[in-house]
Chains A and B, each alone.
Chain A
Amino acid sequence: MTTPASSPALRLDAVCKSFCRETGESVLALDNISFSVGKGELAALVGPDGAGKTTLLRLLTGLMKSDRGIVSVLEIDAAKDPQAIQSRVAYMPQKFGLYDDLTVQENLDLYADLHGITAEEKRRQFADLMEMTGLDPFQKRLAGKLSGGMKQKLGLACTLVRTPELLLLDEPTVGVDPLSRRELWEIIRRLVKDGMTVLMSSSFLDEAEGCERVLVLNEGKELAEGPPAEVRNMALGRTFLAQPPQGMKARDFQAQLLAEPDVIDAVPEGGQVRLVSQARSGGSQSTTLARTTARATPARFEDGFMVLLDQAGGAKQTYTEAVQPEKPLGDSRHESVVEVRNLVRHFGKFVAVDHVSFSVKRGEIFGLLGPNGAGKTTTFRMLCGLLPASEGTLTIAGTDVRRNRASARQHLGYVAQKFSLYGQLTVGENLDFFARAYGLGGEKKRERIAWAISQFKLEPFILLPSAQLPGGYKQRLAMAAALLHRPEILFLDEPTSGADPFARREFWQRITSLAAHGVTVIVTTHLMAEAEYCDRAAILDNGKVLAQGTPAELRAHASGPAGHSATMEDAFIAIVLEGRGKPAAKPGAAQS
């Protein structure tokens, strides 16, 4: 692949790095990686969890040393003089080190002093950063009291107090709502325009699309390197939009398509299913696909990425098994199991949830979408009876939650944002504990735990403390625990935050299957592509419901760039901005 002619801003040459696990086995985190980024370029590291993205960034900052190969940053050898690199680059780690007990201004001052910028520079730069990040009104606020998106912006501002020659960002947009994500991207793009070199890692593949150069990693190995178009072109002629057969939900159809051997990837999109097929157009098509019409659609980076992984032999995992039926559905399809009317919650004078109403039918997947701090988690906690409502009615499976919390809880399972598991207990012990907590015992308990272990494929980990589980498995265990008592309703609070594309697809596969068997699911997410799996969704901002409807209805709020239909993300941003009384910015700005 091409290398920029002038001396690159950073260069890796045949770099290897391995770690020792606690068990003593050695893991190759980076295997013979060569990569370079030219000055002024915007480059991305993409790949699933455990691909080696963070390790690579840490090698570049000199915080780790490579076992073999050359790491050179701004023409400095990272092995020889890490301090020289650390003095010149800016780095924002995944868990950015803001001091929660310092104010926004104090955090910025600290980094300004550490980088030794002059008072005059500081004045100019601060004004700039404040304007760029919109943090100006919050200067005196403690960093710990900022929302997730704000924290991320402050973290970025702290790394930018002095204009660095090279900016390294480790998954800067994880856990950030679409609005903040777009704002972060606007900042990054502006920096690149002003001549800064930026390397960022991401597990959101749409973000790679806007970069000039990407390195695709998988399990420490390089899958591709070059402009994103090269990756995208891997899927050229293989991407289709398929219409589900009459009376079938897009997500159920998608589940069937994924099970086909020659389908590499499928995701619901605007009531249809977007799929990547192994064969190019005209080749053999799957039997499921033959039952419907599919038309070609332009390939995206994500499609090419899936093809790459498929070729590497590890893409599509066997996440096609269905969770077994829980309760016969019968004619109960149309009865509404969750009824929320004019729900209000005050915290002092602050109104966190302001007259929210919605209802969810049996077997539906309902999405609660909204920026950070919109009131989603507060609503959830009231639904679960963890937090008393100030006003309104809340009915779950016919039980008034406000009057009878305990019996309402019998009907529901709740997976909290950080998966409430006991890290020191093994997987088996966690399941045993939760089963007992739900009042299961004896034969019944054994049977349900056996069910959970087989459904969620937890067998190999049964004796492992749950803190040591790989990310995706923690989520599985949390879900298994929440389903032990056969709840009719499942609440999931940002279950896929920080998960990679595969973990996300697998997760939705299970949710789809649960819903098909009559479990009602209410879920919050920041990823608008995931809203496509929902039957209906509500968009919240400042505690109010701004819009409610099917994904197609919500999309209708925004018009896409000429010739394209609007994405769910465009629709979300348009609705939120409209709700805040700001003119809807041009859609499609989040990508490319």
Chain B
Amino acid sequence: MNNWPAKWRRIRALTLKETRQVLRDPSSIAIGIVFPLMMILLFGYGLSLDVSRVSVAVVDEDASTDSAALVGAFRLSPYFRVTVADSMAEAKRMLDRKVDGVLSIPSDFTRRWHLGEAEVQILVNGMDANEARIMQAYAQGPIAQWSAARAGSDALISAGPVIVTDRMWFNENNNSHYFLVPGLIVLVMTIIGAFLTAMVVAREWERGTLEALFVTPVRAGEFLVSKLLPYFGLGMIGFLLCLTAGQFLFHVPLRGSLFLLCLASMIYLMVALGIGLLISTLVKSQFLASQLAMLLTFLPAMMLSGFLYDLRSMPAFIQGITYALPARYAVALMQTLYLAGNVGSVVWLNLGVLAAMATVLMVLTRLATRKQLS
């Protein structure tokens, strides 16, 4: 009974059937292809945690060469777009809508600078606290640059102020795409793997197609393999979309090996598929399965994986929970491979955990799938 040619033929036939269903079902194409594309574009262009080209109004009441040099430093900075305002009153009016901040150089600027106590005023629109804070920090750059230049050219002032230079490791430009793209891969895999497959077995239970299918030579294992293959393919397409977008759209550097990145994605995809199939096999209702998949996989992958929010800033209790979430390991793995490179200790530990999870889930799903009705 257990002859392999017949077994392969059954698996092939079921996989073909499943693939046809995927291709003909607009909703699985929507989730499998359109959704990753949307996520890439949304996260890539819509959601950026950076502030760039901040428009700032400059009120130069000093109108000296020194103040003009400071304004020039702001003009040269890639983070600011400078508009000149004639008076403070006008600048404040602009703050309402046109500009995000105001740089005010008082009339006694040059005089006081020679005394070593020069001050400039920066007004920031605090409506978006995050942006305001970032802008405040950015403003230090041109000012420091200017004061360094002045210090160098003016031998009279020997002891200039100490300049702190930050260097951001792994993400030198502090570009949020750098950590969003690796996380996006995890999110897309979660949706395709868990959310889509959560419905596939439940759908067969609901439509009664399993009862006829089970009274054939098909074995439960063959049935499961045929469910995995097409969605694995779909998941890898999603992965490739993210990879391509990361390389060519957002120019995220890939410092680790491509091979390891692919391997990590495949293993995480198996985990996601395992969760989806297990849910589907156990609940036997499409609606319930999709709700469960949403709650157990997608939302945690978004909130608790380190994709958007730093895990270390969470309460210890929540941090504890994240250790049970496969997405946590996957995000750590992807971010490391992308931004740090093949850091052996991190990569192998996370890969190992994911592989173990995938194995356990597959075994559980196989045990839960019985050719029985009750």
Contacts and interface: CB of A to CB of B under 8 A. Distances in A.
Interface of A: 58, 61-65, 82-84, 86-87, 89-102, 106, 109-111, 113-116, 155, 158-159
A86 B371 contact: yes
A336 to B, nearest CB: 44
A102 B21 contact: yes
A82 B207 contact: no
B217 interface: yes
B167 interface: no
Contact of B208 (A87, A96, A110): A96
Interface in B165-222: 204, 207-219
Interface of B: 1, 6, 9-10, 12-14, 16-17, 20-21, 24-25, 204, 207-219, 371-374
Contacts of B374: 64
A58 B371 contact: no
8 contacts: A65-B372, A87-B216, A89-B215, A91-B212, A93-B212, A95-B208, A113-B12, A114-B14
A114 B209 CA distance: 14
B217 to A, nearest CB: 4
Nearest to A155: B212
Contacts of A86: 214-217, 371
A98 B208 CA distance: 9
A115 B209 contact: no
Contacts of A93: 208, 211-212
A113 B10 contact: yes
Contact of A87 (B204, B210, B212, B217): B217
A98 B17 CA distance: 12
Given A63-B372, A64-B373, A106 B20 contact: yes
A520 B209 CA distance: 41
B25 A101 contact: yes
A91 B25 CA distance: 28
A61 B212 CA distance: 10
Contact of B13 (A61, A65, A109): A109
Chain A to chain B: the 6 pairs with minimum beta-carbon distance, closest first:
A113-B13, A97-B209, A97-B212, A95-B208, A91-B215, A87-B217
Given A64-B372, A97-B208, A114 B21 contact: no
Given A83-B219, A87-B217, A106-B20, A96 B10 contact: no
B20 A101 contact: yes
Contacts of B25: 101
Contact of B17 (A61, A96, A100, A102): A102
A99 B21 contact: yes
A97 B207 contact: yes
Contacts of B10: 113-114, 116
Nearest to A20: B374
Given A99-B17, A114-B13, A61 B215 contact: yes
A83 B1 CA distance: 10
Contacts of B213: 97, 114
A82 B218 CA distance: 12
Contacts of B24: 101
Contacts of B1: 83-84, 87
Contacts of B371: 62-63, 82-83, 86
A106 B204 CA distance: 17
Nearest to A106: B20
B202 to A, nearest CB: 14
A45 B365 CA distance: 36
B212 A159 contact: yes
Contacts of A82: 371
A130 B55 CA distance: 74
Given A84-B1, A97-B207, A97-B208, A116 B217 contact: yes
A66 to B, nearest CB: 12
B314 to A, nearest CB: 38
Contacts of B21: 99, 101-102
Q: Which of the listed residues B14, B25, B209, B215 has the most CB atoms from chain A within 10 Å of its own CB?
A: B215
Contacts of B13: 109-110, 113-114
A64 B1 CA distance: 22
A588 to B, nearest CB: 33
A114 B16 CA distance: 12
Contact of A63 (B12, B14, B218, B373): B373
Nearest to B7: A116
Contacts of A159: 212
A87 B6 CA distance: 12
Nearest to A89: B215
Contacts of B20: 101-102, 106
Contacts of A99: 17, 21, 209
A196 to B, nearest CB: 16
Contact of B215 (A65, A90, A110): A90
Please indicate which of the listed interface residues A93, A98, A106, A155 has the most CB atoms of chain B within 10 Å of its own CB: A93
Nearest to A116: B6
A61 B373 CA distance: 11
Contacts of A92: 212
Contact of A97 (B16, B211, B373): B211
Contacts of A95: 207-208, 211
Contacts of B215: 61-63, 86, 89-91
A110 B17 contact: yes
A495 to B, nearest CB: 23
A113 B9 contact: yes
A279 B371 CA distance: 50
Nearest to A60: B215
A89 to B, nearest CB: 7
Contacts of A155: 212
Nearest to B222: A114
Given A61-B215, A110-B14, A114-B217, 9 more contacts: A87-B1, A93-B211, A97-B210, A99-B209, A102-B17, A102-B20, A102-B21, A110-B16, A115-B216
Contacts of B211: 63, 91, 93, 95, 97
Nearest to B10: A114
B213 to A, nearest CB: 6
A111 B209 contact: no
A515 B207 CA distance: 38
The interface centre, meaning the residue of A65, A90, A97, A155 with most chain B CB atoms within 10 A of its CB, is A97
A58 B14 contact: no
A114 to B, nearest CB: 4
A109 B12 CA distance: 11
